[in-house]
């Protein structure tokens, strides 16, 4: 390839290639150039928004050069690539991350200061890229950061939603959803109008017999939509590797609109086709851990999967290798079952379009895919109705049936006569209408299936997928415990703590190898170090207190214990138990004499998180939190002994401010329901302790930091089934403390009791599925233990430092290396042997 370009031309091009900014001056001149030319503004009307835009464009120009070189390097090296398919990428802001990863933030800070701006203010101008709901989408974003930082040849594939997760406003204590139109100015994406794929829907299947007497099927689509690629550069930390995130946007296939219709006066219908096509990538479904089975969602899934596979296959074909080498060149990871149709689509490409035999094709497919399961909640396991698939993707349905047929034949061969087993593991559920079980399809079509924390991986092996362990053997099922990127979640979110750690561990190496944090334990008794540590936490709390004041009007005391629960609102995550606990605390304080009261610990109970727009119970929880806050925060008896605040519109950028300011955070899901959780890791990494159940990654955090440094409570996952069963036996008694809480709510102490009656009856009258009552007293006791521990400030700081020093395991770098070795069989690319440099 290189030789095809004559030497003089190559020299002319490379002469003009530049990496990072040479110095502050070079940076400033690029900023000024972008302000004056790209933005057509001047010194006199350059506000913070314009300064942000120009800074972002200046860094973007640098990133794209490294991006280009990375792509060339990966192509020349001919190495295996990883493709991470995710319907969600919760990226947050990009500028700070880009400046830090290319290690030029100090230079930018000085340059912007000379131009009259504070870098912190400039960074704040950026709109979050919020193409995700919560943990699953943020995990994908952390993985992209680690893949690039570790120099893996990897691409992310997703959808370019015009509207990301909605913006949450709290009005009169209720959640109101506002659309998140985020694309007005997005310097981080590059439209590739030359990279487009035609995607078919509907239509019918034509079957013919060829010369060999084999049936040949061809799908004739009834409708075509165009997928247009938009590329987002992903810079690794302290490495030239800049990987690519490719997001697909939908467009009408027939250009703009139907001119014939337009000219004959049918104005509306002439644009209808165009609008229908653009609807596909218009909006992110705002459900976390819930499957609603909507046709448009299925369309999104196929659209994205088909465009991505076309792209991947095209890239493979350029290598001119035989098909059997496909899995040596390509690893595709399915982030939950959302991209499972990729399995069917690749099989279709190989048999219908490339003419391979079924078995040869299937072998390639299975060796290519890996599937990550993120939940055991039954309402979140995807199923698609057969009539829906049959109408939208008729050929795919046939292939699914064939996959199932061959699979069930092997089951029948290995477990003869076990018809219950056949029915239980069938990809097709024999219901009315029939349903396709996407998780089963993903298992059958992948060579590895993993859960995201040890307990969760054990649960999938022994409960929802136990039959598949019998069929395929235990080796197909594995665990990769989730992780987080220390670049964003320590270095970027908590710069002062990052610098303090750097000063004690010998520089910023811990950002590449997080296990280096263990060196901190040597300084556990160092007075100055501990003082600085405490000062940083306090400063972070002051910053959050200011934000709370500015956004809610509530004054909170930064010396109080900050108790934080921020995550999507869901019954299984049990924010209702938290607010019941706060009410209980309030009632106890009220019952005390003023003297007694003054001996109590001060608390700020902080909540944040979005409820899915159709999730009634979650919305009641938000309303209850706000209603309790309105009473407690204005009670003169209470003062700053207790404050209850709900922070509006929790998102990645807010998390970067909230996480470093917490003393204790709550990870209190019913045991066995939270697959992993990842914010638990973020809080501990930032010097906060956690109160939690024996669930998800809490268990592994406990193993690392030790029992002494975490507040665990509640029943274990083994006990859950029996407890649920007992609730229906008639003699179900609600915890007396909780009864007291319910009484006060029902007396109208927090507003109209009708507004909260469903929250109460779920516990008292409808079987308490999430075990709120069963865990309540141990939860309250555990909070008392937190108060006691916090009284001893020195002891508390020791716990925090010890915990941070033991968090190395939870880097997403460790996680990605495990995937690379155990599932993908890919290796990092040596960036020093760069032929093109």
Catalytic center residues: 374, 567-568, 573, 678, 682
Restricting to residues 779-818, which ones interact with ligand TH1 according to CB under 6 A? none
Contact with ligand TH1 (CB under 6 A): which of 125, 200, 249, 375?
375
Q: At closest approach, how far in Å is the CB of 635 from ligand TH1?
A: 36
Q: At closest approach, how far in Å is the CB of 670 from ligand TH1?
A: 12
Q: Which residue number, 691 or 745, has a Cβ lying nearer to ligand TH1?
A: 691
Q: Which residue number, 153 or 483, has a Cβ lying nearer to ligand TH1?
A: 483
Contact with ligand TH1 (CB under 6 A): which of 139, 313, 493, 701?
139
Could you say whether residue 374 binds ligand TH1 (CB under 6 A)?
Answer: yes
Q: At closest approach, how far in Å is the CB of 390 from ligand TH1?
A: 24
Q: At closest approach, how far in Å is the CB of 291 from ligand TH1?
A: 7
Q: What is d(CA 592, CA 595) in angstroms, rounded to the nearest whole number?
A: 8
Q: What is d(CA 723, CA 720) in angstroms, rounded to the nearest whole number?
A: 5
Could you say whether residue 482 binds ligand TH1 (CB under 6 A)?
Answer: yes
Could you say whether residue 281 binds ligand TH1 (CB under 6 A)?
Answer: no
Per-residue tokens: 579: 């607010």
Could you say whether residue 677 binds ligand TH1 (CB under 6 A)?
Answer: yes
Tell whether the torsion through CA atoms of 43, 49, 51 and 56 is positive or negative.
Answer: negative
Per-residue tokens: 168: 């949450």
- In angstroms, the first-to-last Cα distance of the chain is 15
Q: At closest approach, how far in Å is the CB of 364 from ligand TH1?
A: 28
Contact with ligand TH1 (CB under 6 A): which of 136, 309, 652, 734?
136
Q: At closest approach, how far in Å is the CB of 698 from ligand TH1?
A: 11
DSSP state at residue 672: T
Q: What is d(CA 583, CA 750) in angstroms, rounded to the nearest whole number?
A: 10
Q: Which single residue is written with the structure tokens 């487009």? A: 196
Instruction: Transcribe 41-98 into DSSP letters.
Output: --GGG--HHHHHHHHHHHHHHHHHHHHHHHHHHHHHHT--EEEEE-S-EEEE--HHHH
Could you say whether residue 674 binds ligand TH1 (CB under 6 A)?
Answer: yes
Q: What is d(CA 492, CA 384) in angstroms, rounded to the nearest whole number?
A: 41
Q: Which residue number, 570 or 799, has a Cβ lying nearer to ligand TH1?
A: 570
Phi first, then psi, for residue 358 (nearest 5°) are -50, -50
Restricting to residues 434-453, which ones interact with ligand TH1 according to CB under 6 A? 452
Residues 104/24, Cβ–Cβ less than 8 Å: no
Contact with ligand TH1 (CB under 6 A): which of 159, 364, 380, 444?
380
Q: Which stretch binds ligand TH1 (CB under 6 A): 48-56, 129-137, 559-567, 615-623?
A: 129-137
Residues 676/562, Cβ–Cβ less than 8 Å: no
Phi first, then psi, for residue 835 (nearest 5°) are -60, -35
Tell whether omega for the bond before 433 is within 30 degrees of 0, i.e. cis.
yes
Q: At closest approach, how far in Å is the CB of 296 from ligand TH1?
A: 15
Q: Which stretch binds ligand TH1 (CB under 6 A): 121-129, 247-255, 542-550, 668-676?
A: 668-676
Residues 30/21, Cβ–Cβ less than 8 Å: yes
Q: Tell me whether residue 297 is exposed, middle or buried, using C-beta atoms within 10 angstroms of its C-beta: 0 to 12, 13 to 18, 19 or more.
A: middle
Helix (H) or strand (E) holding 219: strand 215-220
Taking residues 333 to 352 in sequence order and writing x for each that binds ligand TH1 by CB under 6 A, - otherwise, the string is: ---x----------------
Q: Which stretch binds ligand TH1 (CB under 6 A): 149-157, 374-382, 681-689, 794-802?
A: 374-382
Could you say whether residue 696 binds ligand TH1 (CB under 6 A)?
Answer: yes
Restricting to residues 732-771, which ones interact with ligand TH1 according to CB under 6 A? none
Q: At closest approach, how far in Å is the CB of 515 from ligand TH1?
A: 22
Binding site for ligand TH1 (CB under 6 A): 133-136, 139, 287-289, 336, 374-375, 380, 452, 482, 674-678, 696
């Amino acid at each position: 390839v290189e030789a095809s370009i004559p030497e003089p031309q190559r020299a002319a091009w490379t002469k003009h290639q530049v990496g990072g900014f040479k110095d502050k001056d070079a940076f400033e001149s690029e900023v000024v150039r972008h302000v004056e030319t790209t933005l057509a503004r001047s010194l006199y009307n350059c506000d913070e928004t314009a300064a942000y835009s120009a800074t972002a464009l200046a860094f973007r120009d640098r990133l794209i050069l490294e991006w280009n070189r990375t792509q060339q390097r990966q192509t020349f090296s001919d190495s295996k690539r990883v493709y991470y398919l995710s319907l969600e990428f919760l990226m947050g802001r990009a500028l700070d991350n880009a400046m830090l990863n290319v290690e030029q933030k100090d230079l930018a800070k000085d340059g912007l200061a000379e131009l009259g701006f504070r870098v912190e203010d400039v960074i704040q101008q950026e709109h979050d890229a919020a193409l995700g709901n919560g943990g699953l989408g943020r995990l994908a974003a952390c993985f992209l950061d680690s893949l690039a930082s570790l120099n893996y040849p990897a691409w992310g594939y997703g959808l370019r939603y015009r509207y990301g997760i909605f913006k949450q406003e709290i009005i009169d204590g209720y959640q109101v959803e506002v659309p998140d139109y985020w694309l007005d100015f997005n310097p981080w994406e590059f439209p590739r109008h030359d990279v487009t794929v035609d995607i078919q829907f509907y239509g019918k299947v034509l079957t013919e017999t060829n010369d060999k007497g084999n049936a040949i099927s061809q799908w004739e689509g009834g409708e075509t939509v165009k997928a247009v690629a938009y590329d987002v550069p992903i810079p690794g930390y302290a490495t030239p590797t800049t990987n690519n995130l490719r997001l697909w946007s939908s467009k009408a296939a027939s250009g703009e609109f139907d001119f014939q219709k337009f000219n004959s006066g049918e104005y509306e219908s002439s644009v209808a086709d165009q609008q229908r096509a653009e609807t596909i990538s218009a909006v992110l479904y705002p459900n976390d851990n819930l499957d609603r089975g909507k046709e448009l969602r299925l369309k999104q899934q196929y659209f994205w999967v088909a465009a991505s596979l076309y792209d991947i296959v095209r890239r493979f074909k350029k290598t001119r290798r035989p098909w059997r080498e496909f899995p040596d060149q390509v690893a595709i990871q399915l982030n939950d079952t959302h991209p499972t149709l990729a399995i069917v689509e690749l099989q279709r490409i190989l048999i219908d379009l490339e003419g391979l035999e079924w078995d040869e094709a299937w072998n390639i497919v299975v060796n290519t895919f890996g599937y990550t399961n993120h939940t055991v909640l039954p309402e979140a396991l995807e199923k698609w109705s057969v009539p829906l698939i049959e109408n939208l993707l008729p050929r795919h349905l046939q292939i699914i049936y064939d996959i199932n047929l061959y699979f069930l034949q092997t089951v029948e061969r290995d477990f003869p006569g076990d018809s219950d087993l056949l029915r239980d593991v069938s990809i097709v559920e024999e219901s009315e209408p029939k349903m396709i079980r996407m998780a089963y399809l993903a298992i059958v079509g992948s060579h590895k299936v993993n859960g995201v924390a040890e307990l969760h991986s054990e649960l999938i092996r022994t409960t929802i997928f136990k039959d598949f362990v019998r069929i395929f053997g235990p080796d197909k099922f594995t665990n990769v415990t989730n992780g987080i990127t220390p670049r964003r979640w320590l270095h970027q979110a908590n710069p002062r703590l990052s610098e303090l750690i750097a000063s004690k561990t010998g520089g910023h190496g811990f950002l590449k190898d997080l296990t280096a944090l263990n060196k901190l334990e040597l300084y556990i008794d160092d007075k100055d170090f501990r003082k600085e540590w405490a000062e940083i936490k306090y400063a972070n709390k002051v910053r959050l207190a200011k934000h709370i004041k500015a956004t809610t009007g509530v004054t909170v005391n930064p010396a109080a214990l900050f108790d934080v629960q921020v995550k999507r609102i869901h019954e299984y995550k049990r924010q209702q138990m938290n607010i019941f606990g706060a009410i209980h605390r309030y009632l106890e304080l009220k019952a005390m004499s003023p003297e007694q009261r003054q001996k109590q610990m001060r608390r700020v109970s902080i909540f944040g998180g979005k409820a899915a727009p159709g999730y009634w119970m979650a919305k009641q929880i938000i309303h209850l939190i706000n209603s309790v806050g309105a009473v407690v925060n204005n009670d003169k008896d209470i003062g700053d002994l207790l404050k209850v605040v709900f922070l509006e519109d929790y998102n990645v950028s807010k998390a970067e401010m909230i996480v470093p300011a917490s003393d204790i955070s709550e990870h209190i899901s019913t045991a066995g329901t939270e697959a992993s959780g990842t914010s638990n890791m973020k809080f501990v990494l930032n010097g906060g302790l956690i109160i939690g159940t024996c669930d998800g990654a809490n268990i592994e955090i406990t193993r690392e930091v030790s029992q002494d440094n975490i507040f665990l409570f509640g029943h274990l996952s083994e006990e859950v089934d029996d407890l649920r069963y007992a609730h229906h036996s008639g003699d179900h008694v609600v915890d007396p403390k909780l009864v007291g809480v319910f009484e006060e709510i029902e007396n109208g102490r927090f507003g109209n009791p009708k507004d909260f009656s469903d929250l109460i009856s779920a516990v008292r009258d409808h079987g308490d599925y999430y075990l709120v009552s069963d865990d309540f007293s141990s939860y309250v006791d555990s909070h008392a233990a937190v108060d006691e521990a916090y009284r001893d400030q020195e002891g508390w700081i020791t716990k925090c430092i010890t915990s941070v020093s033991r968090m190395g395991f939870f880097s997403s770098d460790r996680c990605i290396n495990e995937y690379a070795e155990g599932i993908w069989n890919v290796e990092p690319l040596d960036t020093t042997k760069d032929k093109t440099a």
